[in-house]
Amino acid sequence: MIAVNARFLTQPITGVQRFALEISRGLQLLCNKNEIKFFAPHNILQEAEANEFDVEIIGSHTGHLWEQFDLPQHLKKKGSPLLLNFCNTAPVFYSNKISTLHDITYIRFPKTYSIAFRLFYQAIIPRVLKSSKHVFTVSEFSKKEICNYYHLLDEKITVVHNAVNDSFHPQSNEKLTKENYLLAVSSVKESKNFEMIVKAFEGVSKEMGNLKLFIVGDLKSGSFSSINLDTLTSNPKIKLLGRVSDAELVELYSNAIAFLFPSLYEGFGIPVLEAQACHCPVIASNAASMPEVLANSADLVHPHNIDDWIQAIYNLVKNTEHRNQLIESGIRNISRFSWNQSANKVFNNIIEGMQK
């Protein structure tokens, strides 16, 4: 039996949880039902997905306590099967496991997270990596970062890319098209370079009075440091949409003039692929994993150069031919990534590990 740490079903879906969901779906198709079992604590948020995976609820705790104590204790009673962990953390005192570390943002941009979060990750991640049989990460960039910082051998880490699921495809909405807007999906984290979006938009909107900026994302998450949002809420050209459903996000991508992604540090950056799948041209920073993920399919801009951001936005809005070229190159780019391909890579890695 292969066991899956399905604690991710108790969490809101961000990129990390999306990876866990899609890889789990792929593995479920590749394995017989009796060969793979999903275990979670009782505080499930993603109930439809829990039913999809036929999750077994175990233990009395939740969160990290469940992961560190309830889960390994239960598995040891089941003969200590191989445990797959897809969301950075894993039970330290359970050695028959494969873990996933998406990036080391908590090291490179510590102010992104609360002190408690940082201290916990700094304490637990080295122990998780050391006690894991193998480690997955989502890009060559992240692999290099993890290997260099934690002094891991190259062969201990396998890159398994993120992708975008089939629900992301062009969806017209006449009302949204008339809004004439740029789109950003962000949160107020140090690494997300959120303020660059606002500054660049303000610079462009001086010459384009009818242009708007829509921002999707949790801007007031208690886990992260925040900034004063009063200046944003008072600007009628900026609309803060908060969290939205995937269906709403698809329409927002599909009808935007461009998608802005100025992040300073990403292990992968799924939103850029989501935008491209919806035929939305992308302007992104040239930092971290973005050149690897986007190649030549987007306008890549230095994350701290406000003039370059303003010029890139202006060029894309005004130059229809360039915009169409980015849409076409984006469509070609997303074909490089597939959840099925990534799930197969995980599966083959598991089989190889079991045969050693």
Enumerate domains of the chain plus CATH numbers: 2-163+338-355 (3.40.50.2000), 174-334 (3.40.50.2000)
| Alpha helices by DSSP H, the chain | 15-30, 47-52, 63-65, 71-77, 105-108, 115-131, 140-150, 174-177, 194-205, 230-233, 246-254, 270-277, 290-294, 306-318, 320-334, 339-355
Tokens standing for 111? 């102010």
User: How crowded is the C-beta side of 254, counted as CA atoms within 13 Å?
Assistant: 17
Cα separation, 260 vs 270, in Å, equals 13
Residue 354 falls in which region: left (phi positive, over 0), alpha (psi -120 to 50) or beta: alpha
98, two tokens: 């494969």
The pLDDT of 147-153, averaged and rounded, is 98
Stated pTM of the model: 0.93
The SS3 call for residue 288 is coil
- Per-residue pLDDT at 355 exceeds 60: no
**Cα–Cα distance between 6 and 50 in angstroms, integer?**
9
For the cut 60, the answer to whether the pLDDT of residue 226 exceeds it is no
Model pLDDT, residue 201: 94
255-290 pLDDT tens trace: 999 999 999 999 999 999 999 999 999 999 999 999
Residue type, 153: L
Segment 12-21 mean pLDDT: 94
92-148 confidence digits (pLDDT tens): 999 999 999 999 999 999 988 899 999 999 999 999 999 999 999 999 999 999 999
The pLDDT score that the predictor gives to residue 180 is 94
- The Cα–Cα gap between 285 and 265 comes to 9
String of b and e for 111-142 (b: at least 16 CB within 10 Å)?
Answer: ebbeeeeeeebeebbeebbebbbbbbbbbebb
Helix, strand or coil, per DSSP, at residue 234: coil
The structure tokens listed for 148 are 């260099």
What pLDDT, on a 0 to 100 scale, did the predictor assign at position 350?
A: 87
Hey, how many other C-beta atoms are within 10 angstroms of the C-beta on 166?
Answer: 7
Is 249 in contact with 274 (CB distance < 8 Å)?
A: yes
Q: Please, which residues bridge with residue 238 across strands?
A: 213
Q: How far is CA 39 from the centre of its chain?
A: 22
Share of the chain above pLDDT 70, in %: 94
**Does residue 36 contact residue 56 with C-beta atoms inside 8 Å?**
no
Average pLDDT of the chain?
93
Sign of the alpha-carbon torsion through 284, 288, 103, 227: negative
Q: How far apart are CA 4 and CA 83, in angstroms?
A: 6
Q: Are 238 and 232 in contact (CB under 8 A)?
A: yes
